[in-house]
Amino acid sequence: MKNILPFICLILLVSSCAESSTSKGDASTSSATDSDNPSKVTPFLTSSGTPALSAIIPLLPFKPDGKKVSYVTTASVVNGVVPEWMNAKIEVIEKTGFIVDKIDISTLTPEDMEEAFSQCDLIWVGGGNTLYLLQEVRKSGFDKYLTNKILEGVPYVGASAGSIILGPDLEFELFASRTPELTSYEGLNLFPFAPYVHFDAEWTKELYADILKFSLENNKSFITLRDDQFIYVTGEKWQVIDVEAEHNKKK
């Protein structure tokens, strides 16, 4: 049996670092951005993306009908092919009324960004290989472009890897994958904690035993997310929302 001490320490650490909430809906203050107008910043950091979509849509500044989502597929694209599981998630998004444009940023340069994301109402970055995604985010110049767009108020949805890259430090991802070209594990630093996604998944239990030990020994800032939760950032405040609890409140 795994030592449960890291998990107990985790609860204490998250409680002392932030007053995030789940079903209560109270927001906790963070220093997520240096924007001149931080009230416009609205990222949604999810563990699995589409399971949180029904709770995210009412929080958007517009209805989905006819709005354009630029969906970054890079973290899971292999030889230019988008995997079926990701296409299935995109279909779920489209069924709500959004128009989805799939984009692989590994094929872009900084000069391509404006055209590739033209008339985009929402940016969605999907999951997959987190360190490979970070590598391509840096190489393509998407890091600067995305940061500017988020600070301008363009809504952002991150799924798994797409959420993790907004944190301050991705070194913990070395327990899951390696990317030879990546020389720095610094994230975009638009959120003050590294989201530890899929925390309730059976397949992550052994992985997180190692990650938590490493994180606690090295004073890493992190917050855990189950697959039915997401972080809702509004300007300088944020909260963890439990999707099922939100649905129950509306019944």
Domain positions in the chain are 5-249
pLDDT of amino acid 30: 40
- Residues 222 and 17 sit within 8 Å (Cβ to Cβ): no
Looking at residue 250, what is its pLDDT? 66
Enumerate residues 6+ apart whose C-beta is below 8 A from 79: none
Residue 13: its pLDDT value, please? Answer: 40
Strands 156-159 and 43-46: parallel
Query: How far from the centroid of its chain's Cα atoms is residue 91's Cα?
Result: 19
Sheet with 237-242, side-by-side order of all strands: 28-29, 237-242, 229-234, 43-46, 156-159, 122-125, 68-72, 99-103
| Cα 127-121-224 angle, rounded to 5 deg | 35
Mean pLDDT taken over the chain: 85
CA 133/CA 124 separation, integer angstroms: 13
Q: Could you tell me which of 42, 40, 17 has the C-alpha nearest to residue 29?
A: 17
pLDDT (average), residues 38-50: 84
For 117-132, what is the mean pLDDT?
Answer: 96
Candidate ranges 2-11, 47-56, 174-183; pick with highest mean pLDDT: 47-56
Give the alpha-carbon dihedral of 57, 61, 66, 69, to 10 degrees: -70
When mean pLDDT is compared across 7-11, 136-140, 160-164, the lowest value belongs to 7-11
Q: Is it the case that residue 60 has pLDDT exceeding 60?
A: yes
- Are the CB atoms for 158 and 166 separated by under 8 Å? yes
Looking at the chain, which runs of residues are DSSP E strands?
Answer: 28-29, 43-46, 68-72, 99-103, 122-125, 156-159, 194-196, 222-224, 229-234, 237-242
Least confident range from 26-40, 42-56, 103-117, 204-218: namely 26-40
Give the predicted TM-score (pTM) of the model: 0.83
Query: Is pLDDT of 20 > 50?
Result: no
Token digits of residue 86:
């990701």
Are the C-beta atoms of residues 126 and 71 closer than 8 Å to each other?
A: yes
Q: What is the pLDDT of residue 251?
A: 59
Among 164, 205, 168, which Cα is nearest to 6's? 205
The domain covering 5-249 belongs, at the CATH homologous superfamily level, to Class I glutamine amidotransferase (GATase) domain (3.40.50.880)
Let me know: does 62 contact 174? Beta carbons within 8 Å. no
